[in-house]
Amino acid sequence: MRSTAYPGLAMLLGVALLLASPPRAGAQPFNDQDHTRTGFPLTGAHERVSCESCHVRGIFEATPTRCGVCHSSGGFWQASGKPSNHVPSSEYCGDCHITAAWEIARFDHTGVTRSCVSCHNGSIATGKSPSHVPSSSDCEACHRTLSWSPAGFDHSLITGSCFSCHNGVFATGKAATHVPSSNDCGVCHGTWSWATAGFDHSEILGNCVTCHDGATARGKSPSHIASSNACEDCHDTWTWATAGFNHSGVVGNCVTCHDGGTARGKSPSHMPSSNACEICHDTRSWATIDFDHSAAAGNCTGCHNGSVATGKPTSHFVTNVECDACHATPGWLPIAFRHFSPAYPGDHAGNLDCSACHLGNSQAIPWPFGAYQPDCAGCHADDFRPDPHRKVNDPRSLYSVGELRDCTGACHRYTDPSLTTIDHARTGAHRVNQGGW
């Protein structure tokens, strides 16, 4: 059998012969220098270990050289291994330990097989301090094995809200000039840049004008209609320009806006009225009105002409007097009319019936006996009876209507045609202001 075909067997035989044969004169015994040729130099504590501890039963071929194979808690090769409280690590003991002494070890995190918190839990090794920001236990996301501090920072590992750190104590919080808002910073701010922020009105506290005052944010323009500062009555947070309208927020009266410029005003065909639109119109519907005559300007016939509003029927009393001389706005009927002319009732003691003067359905009063106007006989010529109006007893003669056209004048009876001697005086007869004919 050729050794070149089985190099391991040749080495085993060679080593066995060296150990079994007595040393030759001038030959060097098997030593550390010779063991170096095997690829595993004996250093430190390994120099004091007997060959049989590693080469069990004289087997030299395929003896393991990795620490963890021998330094384990059991197995073919027996050597002290990792204790139960050893940090979780690989089997490459040499990453941290040296052969001079097991206890003298340097630490290399590359050999650790579990997460940082497996050791950095405050028991095996220093863990998170009480003042540490609320975070996950993925230490390596921010810390490095070369040095625990300084550390990087990864917001994705934070377990609390932004404000748990960004409260002005642990980290920069809201500035004094910050808009009034909730403490849910993440709604507007991102972890990439604190200054570049989005905006979400849902987190704002207070009303719109707290910010929309023309300083912190755009406020009402000079051309804005006169209104309260409750912007949200009309505007919403999706778009400022597209606004609804709520009259409850308007200050001032209707014509402030409904002037035909800012908003639609009175049409050319509108009845004459004051500018107090709200007396008749309401904000629910401009077209549906509740009419109040107190807002009307001008006289009744300006509207009650049969076109704009109901006018006089054809059978109406013919007059040029305005409607409100007889009619009232609460109810068109019944009517009430009072004469304010000094010609009515004149000197008459009592109120006259309408038909006593208005012989037709008209305001115009014709004198029944026009030749006698404006004296009593102009109306009462038919009431004149000649016989009671004797002028002379002898020879008997009577007064005519023409002579007594003023019924309230003197009507004396004389003794003779000379009319010089009064036989009977009728002074004061027919005084209309005394009642009775």
- In this model, does residue 22 exceed pLDDT 50? no
Q: Which three-class secondary structure state does DSSP give residue 112? A: strand
The percentage of residues in the chain with a pLDDT greater than 70, rounded to a whole number, is: 90
The pLDDT, as a whole number, for residue 286 is 79
The pLDDT, as a whole number, for residue 398 is 92
> DSSP code of 349?
S
Q: How confident is the model at residue 372 (pLDDT cuts 50, 70, 90)?
A: very high
What whole-number distance in Å separates Cα of residue 264 and Cα of residue 341?
46
The pLDDT, as a whole number, for residue 31 is 54
The pLDDT, as a whole number, for residue 8 is 35
- In this model, does residue 78 exceed pLDDT 80? no
- In this model, does residue 14 exceed pLDDT 70? no
- Across the range 396-423, mean pLDDT stands at 87
The pLDDT, as a whole number, for residue 247 is 84
Phi and psi at 429, nearest 5°, equal -70, 150
> DSSP code of 201?
G
Q: How confident is the model at residue 53 (pLDDT cuts 50, 70, 90)?
A: confident
Per-residue three-class SS string for 218-277: CCCCCCCCCECCCHHHCCCCCCCCCCCCCHHHECCCHHHCCCCCCCCCCCCCCCCECCCH
The b-or-e profile of 34-47 (16+ CB within 10 A means b, else e) is: ebeeeeeebeeeee
Mean of the per-residue pLDDT values for the chain?
A: 80
- In this model, does residue 68 exceed pLDDT 80? no
What whole-number distance in Å separates Cα of residue 363 and Cα of residue 320?
8
Pick from 306, 305, 302, 276: nearest CA to 291: 276
The pLDDT, as a whole number, for residue 167 is 85
- In this model, does residue 222 exceed pLDDT 70? yes
pTM: 0.41
The pLDDT, as a whole number, for residue 116 is 86
Cβ proximity of 277 and 253 under 8 Å: yes
- In this model, does residue 365 exceed pLDDT 70? yes
The pLDDT, as a whole number, for residue 340 is 79
The pLDDT, as a whole number, for residue 318 is 92
Cβ proximity of 432 and 408 under 8 Å: yes
Better pLDDT: 22 or 192: 192
Cβ proximity of 426 and 410 under 8 Å: yes
The pLDDT, as a whole number, for residue 434 is 66
- In this model, does residue 7 exceed pLDDT 80? no
What would the two tokens of residue 30 be?
Answer: 């098997």
- In this model, does residue 367 exceed pLDDT 70? yes
- Across the range 321-349, mean pLDDT stands at 82
Write down the domain spans for the chain: 1-63, 299-338, 342-437
Q: How confident is the model at residue 76 (pLDDT cuts 50, 70, 90)?
A: low
The pLDDT, as a whole number, for residue 371 is 92
- Across the range 263-277, mean pLDDT stands at 85
**Run of H or E including 413:** strand 413-414
The pLDDT, as a whole number, for residue 369 is 92
- Across the range 336-349, mean pLDDT stands at 77
How big is the chain, counted in residues? 437
End-to-end CA separation in angstroms for the chain: 181
- pLDDT digit string, tens, across residues 143-170: 888 888 888 888 888 888 888 888 888 8
What would the two tokens of residue 135 be?
Answer: 């975070």
What whole-number distance in Å separates Cα of residue 123 and Cα of residue 120?
7
The percentage of residues in the chain with a pLDDT greater than 90, rounded to a whole number, is: 3
The pLDDT, as a whole number, for residue 174 is 87
The pLDDT, as a whole number, for residue 169 is 84
Q: How confident is the model at residue 219 (pLDDT cuts 50, 70, 90)?
A: confident
